Amino acid sequence: NAGVTQTPKFRILKIGQSMTLQCTQDMNHNYMYWYRQDPGMGLKLIYYSVGAGITDKGEVPNGYNVSRSTTEDFPLRLELAAPSQTSVYFCASSWVRPPTDTQYFGPGTRLTVL
């Protein structure tokens, strides 16, 4: 199993450009998440999905969009990139089995907006 994979690993965008961060998991997890992590800070939840076709906003959704057409894929779309979106983006997945929700993280995408 590859686990959670993310592409690209690094990207530099100009202000106003758009891009899609890809995330795929092969563990048949029902939940998937997108986080951003700024230097010296914890993880902030952007969007999450509880299953194919269902998505919901997290703590910091502005400037982002997501879709979940399959169990495996959960792409994150950045529209009109801004310097404030410079961050490391982590995708994660979990098989929710209350009360535990162990999340498995991808390697991250380091995004710089200039």
Partner 1 sequence: QKEVEQNSGPLSVPEGAIASLNCTYSDRGSQSFFWYRQYSGKSPELIMFIYSNGDKEDGRFTAQLNKASQYVSLLIRDSQPSDSATYLCAVKSGDDKIIFGKGTRLHILP
Where on the chain is the footprint of partner 1 (CB under 8 A)? 35, 40-45, 58, 90, 98-108
* CB of 1 or CB of 14, closer to partner 1: 1
Least Cβ distance, residue 48 to partner 1 (angstroms)? 9
Q: Name which of 90, 111, 98, 100 is nearest 25 in CA terms.
A: 90
* CB of 8 or CB of 16, closer to partner 1: 8
Least Cβ distance, residue 76 to partner 1 (angstroms)? 15
Residues 56 and 17: their CA atoms lie apart, in Å, by 24
Q: Name which of 77, 82, 59, 98 is nearest 23 in CA terms.
A: 77
